[in-house]
Amino acid sequence: MIREIRERAADARRFATLPDPFPMWRGGVLHGARIAYETWGALSPARDNALLLFTGLSPSAHAAASADDPSEGWWEGMIGPGRPIDTRRYHLVCVNSLGSCFGSTGPASIDPATGAPYRVSFPDLSIEDMARAGFEVLRSLGIERAHTIIGPSLGGMVVLAFLAQFPGAARNAISISGTAAASPFAIALRSIQREAILRDPDWRGGSYADERPPATGMRIARKLGMMTYRSAAEWRQRFGRQAAAPELRGREPFGPEFAIQSYLETHAQRFVHSFDPNCYLYISRAMDRFDLAVHGPSIEAVFARARLERALVIGVESDLLFPLDEQRALAAALSQAGAATTFAPLDCLEGHDSFLIDLERFGREISRFLSGA
C-alpha cells in the first residue's frame, strides 16, 4: 500500500473534511474521510465564479503550478492567467477523487475503526460517491453553486453523476471524453487490467507489502491503459518499427526489441511507483459500474432536473475507450434536456488522452465556452 506517494517539498493541497458519517452510494459509510484539493484564482465576493474540476483515473489534485507548489501540474498550460481556464476570472477547485491515493480518503487510507489501512475492506466505491465528495468540497468553501463543473475521462463521468445528484448545484458543465455508461469494450479492457493485478501473487488479496506491490500486474494494467489512451496512428508516426535502444533490449528470452515496447515499459515502471493498486481496482470497477440511466427515468430526464444553462461535450474521433458516438449521444441528451449545448468532435491523433496533449484545440473549445455566450 502506497499511502503518500509524492513526497514534495512544496504542497499546495488543502483538505476538506467530509460529513461524518459519509454515506456511500452502494451502502456502507466512511468516518473521518477527507478530500485533498487545490485551488487557483480568487473566489469572487458573490462566490459565483467557482469551477470544479474532477480528474481522470490517476492524477492528483495538482492540475497546474501555483505559488505554493510550482511543480508542473497534469493540465499545465490549460490553467492560469490568460489561459483557457483563466484564473484571473475564475476560482478553480480541483479535487483528488474519493478512493484515490493523493491525499483523499481511499482504500490505502487508515480505517479509523481499526487503525490499519482499509485495503479491500473499503466500502464499494461509485462514481456517485466521487461526485458527492466534490460537492462537499464546494460546500466547505461556502459555494452553493458552481459556475461550471468540468471533467475529462473518469472526471467526465463524475460530472454527470454530480448533475444527477445535485440539481441546481452547477450552472454549466463540460464533459470531455467521458460517458454516461461504459461500453462492453471498455468494461472488457478494464476487467483485464484488474485481473492482471488480482492474479499477481504479490497482490496477496489486497494485503501487499509496501515494498512489494503487485508490480507485474500494475505494469501490465498500465501498458494496456497506454494502448487505449493513445492511438495506433499516433504510434505509427512516432515509433514505427524503430528498434529499442540496445541497453533496454534485455537479455531474457522474449525481451523487448522495439521502441514501442520500451516506451510502454518506461511508463509502466513509473506507474507502479505512483499509484496504489487497491485504489486502482476500486476506481476502475466504479467506472465499469457507472450507468447514469439508473438515476432515470432517462438520461434526458436526469439532465432536465439538473437545470443546466449551458453544456460543452468534447470527444475525439480516435478514442477507442470513450468513443465519439457516446459523446454525440451525451450532447444530444443534454440539448434535449434544455441546456444550450455545444458538441465539439475533434479529430486529434492522440486518442483518449488528447485532452492532455492537444491543449491548443481543447483550450480553444474550453476558452470559447467559458468566456462566451
**Distance between CA atoms of 51 and 151, rounded to whole angstroms?**
10
- Closest contact distance (angstroms) between CB of 226 and its own copies is 8
Element (DSSP H or E) covering residue 312: strand 310-316
Of 171 and 238, the one with the shorter C-beta distance to its own copies is 238
- Closest contact distance (angstroms) between CB of 158 and its own copies is 19
Active-site residue, selected from the candidate residues 153, 231, 318, 354: 153
State the CB neighbour count (10 A cutoff) for residue 258: 15
What nine digits make up the cell of 162? 454530480
Of 80 and 323, the one with the shorter C-beta distance to its own copies is 323
Of 191 and 274, the one with the shorter C-beta distance to its own copies is 191
**Contacts (Cβ under 8 Å, ≥6 apart) of 87:** 40, 41, 79, 80, 81
- Closest contact distance (angstroms) between CB of 28 and its own copies is 14
Q: Is 373 helix (H, G, I), strand (E, B) or coil?
A: coil
List interacting residues with its own copies (CB under 8 A).
120, 181-185, 187-189, 191-192, 194-196, 198-199, 201, 205-206, 216, 219-220, 223-224, 226-227, 231-232, 235-236, 238-241, 252-254, 256-261, 264, 281, 285, 288-289, 291, 320, 323
Active-site residue, selected from the candidate residues 126, 129, 352, 353: 352
Contact 163, 170 (CB under 8 A): yes
Query: Is-catalytic flag, 352?
Result: yes
Of 263 and 362, the one with the shorter C-beta distance to its own copies is 263
Query: Is-catalytic flag, 267?
Result: no
Beta strands 85-86; 29-30: pairing state: unpaired
- Closest contact distance (angstroms) between CB of 123 and its own copies is 12
Query: Is-catalytic flag, 153?
Result: yes
**Distance between CA atoms of 8 and 269, rounded to whole angstroms?**
20
Contact 314, 178 (CB under 8 A): no
What residues are labeled active site?
153, 319, 352
